[in-house]
Structure 1
Amino acid sequence: MEEARIYTISVYTENTVGLLNRISGIFVKRHINIESINVSGSEIDDVKRFVIVVRTTEKWVNNIVGQIEKQIDVIKAYYHNDEETIFLETALFKIASHLLFDERQIQNIIKDSHSEIVTVSRDFFVISKSGRREEIENLYEELKPYGIMQFVRSGRVSVSKSQMEISSLLKEFVH
């Protein structure tokens, strides 16, 4: 039996209302949980890119990508495993300001984790950390004993190591 792994699915689409709902429905029907999702512009004007992270088998991810590509507003979809992509997540941590001065260890944690302080106010300061999920989770665990007022983490952003032929594909449609 094939082992489940993490896959990153990249979906290039037109910017259409309701498409996210239709795409997420494909995962719901197959009882596959979406680990993270990020939607942004892409390298092509007026084309959006969904980056969806799932844990499943290659057979299922291949099937899902095929179903996604059948959606009217989808231009092209690809999937890659972690070895085939370069990826990051970003997190923000809101911490009580007095800890920055009262707990010297906090400064060491920030420095050692290659994080940065993005704002400081009388009541709180905010740390930003970009990196792999494990790095962010490690920072979370180190800061947790001091009290985290708020925490948020982005979905994965990624680029493939190999070239995706989306730009040349679109040029064929234009000409």
Structure 2
Amino acid sequence: MQKEYTITVYTEDRIGITNRITIIFTRRRINITSLTTSETEIPGVYKFVITVLATRELLDKVVLQIERLIEIHRAFVHEEDEVVYQELALYKVSTKALSNGNIERLIRDNHARILTIAEDYFVIEKTGHQQELLDMLKKLEPYGLIEYTKSGRVAIVKWSRRFHEHLKNLGEKQMDNLPPGVTHPEANRSGISL
């Protein structure tokens, strides 16, 4: 049965790695609903957080295929209850709505905040799960909603401590093996694998 899963992929910072990962999903006809990448606390290691609708059996095969790529440290499939996650939404609303006192209460009651106010519009920021962000979208529509955009999922895995310790140790060992005078950023530019 298809359901929503979060996949985390820990990788080196290499040109083209996003394409190489996403093409694996495309070949298996899996639609990616969200994809974010960011640096981790470990220098030289990046984390992909990918959200998909698929079966667990199919995703286990995808993860094995992703791990065959040379730049990949590890990849994991997570059930909903194995991750703590949030998404971020921005809502652009007509400044005419500010004359209605209800909009400020709506923003407060939904734990959102105003980021900026311009002459014709203001921007509201809200974090939460996808349904919360969509609910806020519906509530703002009567106030003159102009634009809406949402980030992908940002997630922390509940059980990943030992793996992160392994990555830190790996990073320290690789830093010890660098030629004299070469710092980490230079190592990335010169093609030394970290």
Identity among equivalent positions (%) equals 37
The equivalent of 2:113 in structure 1 is 116
SS at match of 1:165: helix
Q: Deviations over 1:70-90 (max 9, x none)?
A: 111111111211111110000
Moved over 4 A (4+): none
TM-score (norm 1): 0.92
Query: Displacement of 1:147 after TM fit?
Result: 2.5
1:77 match: 75
AA partner of residue 4 (structure 1): Q
Q: Indicate yes or no: 2:57 matched with 1:59.
A: yes
Question: Distance between the aligned counterparts of 2:149 and 2:72, measured in 1?
Answer: 29
1:131 aligns with 2:128: yes
TM normalised by structure 2 equals: 0.84
Q: In the alignment, does 2:157 pair up with 1:153?
A: no
- 5+ residue gaps, structure 2, are 175-194
Q: 1:36 to 1:79 in 2, by over 3 A?
A: same
1:32 lines up with 2:30 in the alignment: yes
Residues 1:87 and 2:58 aligned together? no
1:167 corresponds to 2:134? no
Does 58-67 or 144-153 show the bigger shift?
144-153
RMSD of the alignment, in Å? 1.5
Aligned length: 172
User: Which position in structure 2 is the counterpart of 1:141?
Assistant: 138
Distance in 2 (CA, whole Å) between partners of 1:81 and 1:49 is 17
Matched, 1:49 2:68: no
| Structure 2 partner of 1:18 | 16
3-state SS of the aligned residue for 1:149?
strand
Deviates more, 1:4-13 or 1:158-167: 158-167
The 2-side partners of 1:167 and 1:137 are apart by 33
Gaps of 5+ in 1: none
